[in-house]
């Protein structure tokens, strides 16, 4: 798919078909994620890939439908390195930014492959750490269920550009 088409076609999906993803497909998604830019190229991210029966644990962590996706990524920062390089909270902020850019790359790649996902920010942090034995050095910032959409989803509207953009300088 051409890039602009993927940007326009990406949308959040909360219902998935029964199709499983292959290991190669998951690797393709993760490869796209890790091509994202990152602060001083420290790549302060870590991805847990949850498949099969392990997905049932998400029922104790977030909305039940999340466990119906064939794969759920647990998106984490791994920020010890960047935090020792940048103080005053900047390192921690950079790590969250890194993972966010990686997540969008993954979603665009998923769209390119005919798949969909939905970033999940509403989850129980402690339950997620407990259920999936996430070590302290990895801080969970989002969950990302991905799969083939069960049905087409209408696009959600966006605010008009003039509401969210301020030009500074000469009018083009
Ligand atoms: C930081 C963040 C947190 C989100 N958390 C949730 C969530 O907990 N549950 C959910 O169903 N969707 C969640 N979403 C998805 C948004 O609802 C969705 O991106 C937005 O409504 C725009 O729709 P679209 O992605 O289809 O364009 C989240 C998105 C972001 C970026």
100 lines ligand 1 (CB under 6 A): no
Ligand 1 atom 29: the closest Cα is on which residue?
119
Residue reference for tokens 């602009």: 4
pLDDT digits (tens, 9 = 90+) for 111-143: 999 999 999 999 999 999 999 999 999 999 999
Neighbouring C-beta atoms of residue 34, cutoff 10 Å: 14
Question: Buried b vs exposed e over 79-88: b needs ≥16 C-beta within 10 Å?
Answer: beebbeebee
Atom nearest to 11 CA in ligand 1? 26
pLDDT of residue 101: 98
The average confidence (pLDDT) of the chain is: 96
Confidence of residue 99 (pLDDT cuts 50, 70, 90): very high
Q: Is the CB of 159 under 6 A from ligand 1?
A: no
- Ligand 1 pocket, 151 CB below 6 A? no
- What is the rounded average pLDDT of the residues 137-163? 96
Mean pLDDT, to the nearest integer, of 152-167?
A: 94
pLDDT reported for residue 153: 87
* Element holding 146 (H helix, E strand): strand 138-147
Instruction: Give per-residue pLDDT as tens, 62-85.
Output: 999 999 999 999 999 999 999 999
Tokens describing residue 12: 């959040």
pLDDT exceeds 90 at position 170: no
pLDDT of residue 96: 98
The answer to whether the beta carbons of residues 51 and 22 sit under 8 Å apart is no
User: Could you give the CA distance from residue 4 to residue 87 in angstroms, rounded to a whole number?
Assistant: 37
What the chain holds in terms of domains, given with CATH numbers, is 3-151 (3.40.109.10)
- Three-state secondary structure readout of 71-88: EEEEEEEECHHHHHHCCC
**Separation of alpha carbons 13 and 23, rounded Å:** 21
Question: Between the CA of residue 67 and those of 73, 114, 132, what are the distances in Å?
Answer: 11, 20, 13
CA 51 – CA 73 distance, rounded (Å): 9
Pocket test for ligand 1, best of 62, 119, 123, 158 (most atoms within 8 A of CB): 119
Cβ partners under 8 Å of residue 154, min gap 6: none
Global confidence as pTM: 0.97
120 C-alpha to center of ligand 1: Å? 6
CA 72 to CA 34: how far, in whole Å?
17
Per-residue model confidence (pLDDT) at position 41: 98
Residue pLDDT, tens place only, 16-65 = 999 999 999 999 999 999 999 999 999 999 999 999 999 999 999 999 99
Task: Check if the beta carbon of residue 77 is closer than 8 Å to that of residue 95.
Answer: yes
């Amino acid at each position: 798919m051409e890039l602009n088409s993927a940007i326009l076609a990406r949308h959040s999906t909360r219902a998935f078909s029964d199709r499983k993803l292959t290991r190669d497909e998951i690797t393709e998604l993760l490869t796209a994620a890790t091509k994202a830019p990152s602060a001083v190229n420290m790549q302060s991210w870590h991805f847990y890939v949850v498949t099969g029966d392990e997905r049932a644990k998400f029922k104790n962590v977030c909305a039940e439908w999340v466990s119906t996706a064939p794969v759920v990524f647990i998106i984490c920062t791994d920020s010890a390195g960047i935090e020792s390089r940048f103080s005053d909270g900047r390192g921690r902020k950079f790590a969250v930014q890194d993972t966010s850019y990686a997540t969008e790359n993954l979603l665009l790649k998923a769209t390119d492959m005919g798949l969909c996902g939905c970033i999940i920010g509403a989850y129980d942090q402690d339950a997620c750490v407990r259920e999936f034995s996430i070590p302290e050095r990895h801080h969970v910032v989002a969950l990302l269920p991905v799969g083939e959409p069960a049905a087409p989803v209408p696009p959600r509207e966006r605010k008009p550009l003039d509401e969210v953009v301020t030009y500074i300088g000469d009018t083009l």
